[in-house]
Amino acid sequence: MVEANSSPGSVMLVLHDIAPETWPDYEPFVQAVDEMGNVPMTWLVVPDFHHRNLLARAPTFCKLLDRRLARGDELALHGYFHADDGPSPRTPGEFFMRRIYTHEGEFYALDQLQALQRLEEGLALFDRQGWPVAGFVAPAWLMSPGTRQALCQLPLRYTSTPRHLYRLPDFTAFEAPGLVWSARSAWRRGLSRVVCDWQCRRWRTAETLRLGLHPVDMRHRSSRNYWLRTLDALLLQGREPLTKSAWLDRQVMA
């Protein structure tokens, strides 16, 4: 588990793939985190998860997100469909990234115009809901050059990859290492535990740590409990829980 840190720093709890379909997976976990006290979370919201979860048709779920905002959580844009529905891969490298590594790298192969259109549609949905939005995280953290160009044209403040938060529009990088599990099978969960324990030791003095959770993590007791124990250990160390926007504000002011 997590070792002691002479400089406690902060921790960011980030929930990926937020949609009406995935909320039943997350609900018990979120309740458990709420019982820990004031732990703000960053919710990565997908406007139409896998083309079957259009938020405009889910008013009850949207009201839930309204309540989370009022509680102090943050909502960030997480793709639009969270599904790679582009033309078939044309190279072995593309095939690996889009069919083996993930089928959900929605923004991996988009050109600037395509990326800009989806980003603007996502931001328009947030605006109609009255949700403030500062950040965009690409599904699987995969961004094409065109996506990066499109982000520079929009009023967003940050994006992120597994190791960094990037201030927009200049893509200034801030070190913010993240822990993540691959929980789709028993051997992946076992390996994820080993890797994350090693990363916790490696980054025990890091100024911040991000915990990147996914719905599949919540479907297995071992991964769900790991995240609860790890979060609790980091809080006991004295790490301050922050949303991504709150953490970035401090870096800009420093």
* Model confidence, pTM: 0.92
Q: What domains are defined for the chain?
A: 10-253 (3.20.20.370)
Cα–Cα distance for residue pair 194/198, rounded to 1 Å: 6
Contacts by 123-127, CB closer than 8 A, 24 or more apart: 123/77, 123/154, 123/156, 125/47, 125/55, 125/56, 126/45, 126/75, 126/77
Instruction: Among 3-12, 169-178, 182-191, name the most confident range.
Output: 169-178
pLDDT digits (tens, 9 = 90+) for 96-134: 455 545 567 689 889 999 999 999 999 999 999 999 999
pLDDT digits (tens, 9 = 90+) for 140-171: 999 999 999 999 999 999 999 999 999 999 99
What is the residue type of 157? R
pLDDT digits (tens, 9 = 90+) for 39-98: 999 999 999 999 999 999 999 999 999 999 999 999 999 999 987 776 566 666 664 455
Cα–Cα distance for residue pair 160/136, rounded to 1 Å: 8
The pLDDT of residue 88 is: 63
